[in-house]
Amino acid sequence: MKPLQLQEVVKQYGDKTAVNGLSFDVEEGEMYGLLGANGAGKTTTMRMVLGLIYPDGGTIQYDGKPFHSGLSRIFGYLPEERGMYPKIKVSEQVTYLAQLRGMSRKDADSNLKYWLERFNVPENYNKKIEELSKGNQQKIGFIASIVHKPKLLILDEAFSGLDPVNVELLKETVKELRDQGTSILFSTHRMEHVEELCRNLTILQKGKAVLQGSLRDLKSRYPREHVVLRTSGAVEGLQSIAGVSDVQRTDDGYRIRITDEGSAQHILQTAMTQVNVQQFELKEPTLNEIFIKAVGSESNA
């Protein structure tokens, strides 16, 4: 039984179709990536999964069952727009939210203290949200979404507004929760985070899945267009090899763009006849390149 299963889900706002026939599953202990340009339908999908809005078509199932009110206990949600009350103290707010999700005040308080320590902000316990920096508010929002140990964690742009050290801290935490069995639905505009954290993903465009599957499969569907060459010196004639579209000199070799994978062998042969080749690599496309190809110029959907 899958913790989360969407089948042909549709959401209309008037005559605008925000989500159009979307299907995907999230396994136990899996972090699933939801990507798409602004307005593609990511937040709408998450809000449907959380039961905050209802689909106009299709089904959403949790462990094989439809939505029911008891699910709020297993959900954790970090919305894109911070949903915290500015005038209320961190301790009161986070423990209250955890109690709404079925945790005792005592357990919520000790978990909150644990996470504040882990995130190096124990002094925030007695502060009001409005007294905190934007990044620290984000951390408290994140703690509020996990303090009650949810089974299904929904993270909408969870790392936005954080400095690189804190992004690492939250990434490590998310990986730990995933490895402990939490199912995570994760939306972001940062492709490298999806590459690092998610095995499976959907790229949405205007509410439709334009690309879907495992990162490995998606990468294998797209041609490899970059060659990295490290050499002992300069190589003549790279630009004139058939299929080479761009040659850039780097500190210790070349970065070459090709339009045909077959030209990679010719590049290697050409280099080997002239210099010592220290590295030769035909690079897989990055998710960023795949995204741009899939969504392309229509990214302002």
Ligand X SMILES: Nc1ncnc2c1ncn2[C@@H]1O[C@H](COP(=O)(O)OP(=O)(O)OP(=O)(O)O)[C@@H](O)[C@H]1O
HEC profile of 115-176: HHHHCCCHHHHHCEHHHCCHHHHHHHHHHHHHCCCCCEEEEECCCCCCCHHHHHHHHHHHHH
300 binds ligand X (CB under 6 A): no
Minimum gap (Å) between residue 116 Cβ and ligand X: 28
Q: What is the spatial distance between Cα 280 and Cα 228, in angstroms, rounded to a whole number? A: 6
Minimum gap (Å) between residue 38 Cβ and ligand X: 3
Q: Which stretch binds ligand X (CB under 6 A): 11-19, 90-98, 126-134, 261-269?
A: 11-19
**Strand ranges of the sheet holding 277-283, from the earlier edge strand across to the other edge:** 244-250, 253-258, 226-231, 277-283
Minimum gap (Å) between residue 45 Cβ and ligand X: 7
Nearer to ligand X, 73 or 208 (CB): 208
Q: Which of residues 108-147 bind ligand X (CB under 6 A)?
A: none
285 binds ligand X (CB under 6 A): no
Pick from 300, 4, 259, 181: which is nearest to 22 by CA?
4
Residue 237, SS3 per DSSP = coil
**Is residue 40 within 8 Å of residue 206, measured between CB atoms?**
yes
Q: Which of residues 35-64 bind ligand X (CB under 6 A)?
A: 36, 38-44
Nearer to ligand X, 41 or 141 (CB): 41
Count residues contacting ligand X (CB under 6 A)? 12
**Helix 105-118 vs helix 134-146: crossing angle, to nearest 10:** 140
289 binds ligand X (CB under 6 A): no
Backbone angles phi, psi at 178, to 5 degrees: -60, -45
Residue 287: Cβ within 10 Å count: 26
Nearer to ligand X, 91 or 212 (CB): 212
Minimum gap (Å) between residue 68 Cβ and ligand X: 24
Nearer to ligand X, 16 or 249 (CB): 16
Minimum gap (Å) between residue 144 Cβ and ligand X: 20
Residues binding ligand X (CB under 6 A):
13, 16, 18, 36, 38-44, 80
